Structure 1
């Protein structure tokens, strides 16, 4: 059995039995939210040296670290190729395919994944963010959408405009989370490609969990039903979306963080909400366990 790994940037995951914890707290301010390409490559080398040869689901802390999924997926280049490709399935309330001019950002990493030769397609499930609405479309990276490498599966956001520019297959809209998951799993039924699964818990409703970001509409059973259906094909996975309080040292990251309007978290709520997160992690890890 491959054991889970905790990349401990922000001390938000807590202790999990049998998990290997790697201390990356010294990287928190450098990597969190976004970083330049030079620092990202430096961290990549550190990560490669620190990961065990075989490991299970990786937990990374706050969704501010979701761009680390790119590095974990890149590791799979050793086993897969354009002739033997994988698909990447991401649960996220945001597309994570936005333009970022200063390196790699937790909201920009998906386009890099879509460009990997051994990744045939990327699906982002559960988006309710206006990042994919008409007034923010220019902020998205268009190439993977027009080249049919990326599909947004969305709720509660108007994407009807996409049909007018030939992107109706890339922008899928559904009336309910049940409809979205049912349709996705129906289309995956005969697919045999291996899958890398990435879960950002901000895709879940605030009725289920609280995260650092604005949240979607899915329930826990939507994640569990999907995992159950695709589990034989999962060759790697990660979980992010933990709750943590962070004050950036650099004025630039403070500015960017303020522009994204992350919700304020009171110390009074922090411990209780982190405990809810912890329990959900145990449920997800059990579902993903090989």
Structure 2
């Protein structure tokens, strides 16, 4: 069985028995939230050296590191680039398909995944963020939506603007998580393509876990139902969304973090919330290890 890997940027992930822990604390300021493409390439080189040849689910800490998923997905190209295309299924309260002028960040990485030639489609499940509403429509990168390579599966957001410009096919709206999950599972019944699963726990409701970000409406059983429905197709996975704190030295990141309203968390509260995350991680890992994963 391939071992779980912890990319330890922020010391937020609890102890996972037999996991391979890769210390990356020296990258926290540089990579967290966002970074230049040059810096991202440097991290890629270090991961190439430190990641095992074969591994299972990767835990990356805070959702501020979700863009690292792009590097993990790119590693699959050696296996699937010239053979069978893959799909990427992302659980996230945000589209992560937004414009970012300073390189790549945790809210822009999905558009890069959609551009990979061996990725046939990207699904983002559980969005309730106003990031896909009219006020933020100009921030969304529309190309992968128009090209039919990206679908938003969303709730509670008015998306009439998208229908008016011909994007009805890319926005799937639902009244409840149950309806969303049921519809997604139904669309996958005859699909045989390999799947990479990426989980940001801000997709979960606050009565499940507390994160640094605004959160969605899903319950843990909704995620587990989708994972189980994908069955033997899963060839890689990662989990992010741990709750953690960091005081940036960069004025730009301090400003952007303040705009996202990430408030300081008391130490006792932080510890309690991290214990909640640890329990959820254990259940997610138990579901994901039931499926074979092929990783470079």
Partner residue, 2:127? 127
- Unaligned 5+ residue runs, structure 2? 291-296
Partner residue, 1:62? 62
DSSP-derived class of the 1:254 partner: helix
- Larger mean CA deviation between 50-59 and 256-265 belongs to 256-265
DSSP-derived class of the 1:96 partner: coil
1:229 aligns with 2:229: yes
Partner residue, 1:170? 170
Partner residue, 1:47? 47
Q: Describe how 1:209-220 pairs up with structure 2 within 5 A.
A: 209-220=209-220
2-side partners of 1:262 and 1:191: how far apart? Answer: 39
Contact 1:86–1:120 at 8 Å: present in 2 too?
Answer: yes
1-side partners of 2:5 and 2:134: how far apart? Answer: 39
Change (3 A) 1:30 1:186: same
Partner residue, 1:192? 192
- Larger mean CA deviation between 244-253 and 199-208 belongs to 244-253
2-side partners of 1:186 and 1:160: how far apart? Answer: 25
DSSP-derived class of the 1:141 partner: coil
1-side partners of 2:68 and 2:145: how far apart? Answer: 22
2-side partners of 1:202 and 1:193: how far apart? Answer: 27
1:3 aligns with 2:6: no
Partner residue, 1:78? 78
1-side partners of 2:122 and 2:231: how far apart? Answer: 17
Contact 1:213–1:263 at 8 Å: present in 2 too?
Answer: no
2-side partners of 1:9 and 1:247: how far apart? Answer: 14
Alignment length (residue pairs): 290
2-side partners of 1:125 and 1:265: how far apart? Answer: 28
How far the C-alpha of 1:259 sits from its partner, in A, is 1.2
- Unaligned 5+ residue runs, structure 1? none
How far the C-alpha of 1:81 sits from its partner, in A, is 2.2
How far the C-alpha of 1:245 sits from its partner, in A, is 1.1
Partner residue, 1:142? 142
How far the C-alpha of 1:264 sits from its partner, in A, is 3.7
How far the C-alpha of 1:223 sits from its partner, in A, is 0.5
1-side partners of 2:265 and 2:121: how far apart? Answer: 35
The one-character-per-residue Cα deviations of 1:187-238 (angstroms, maximum 9, x if unpaired) are: 0110000000000000000011001110000000001111111031000000
2-side partners of 1:231 and 1:110: how far apart? Answer: 23
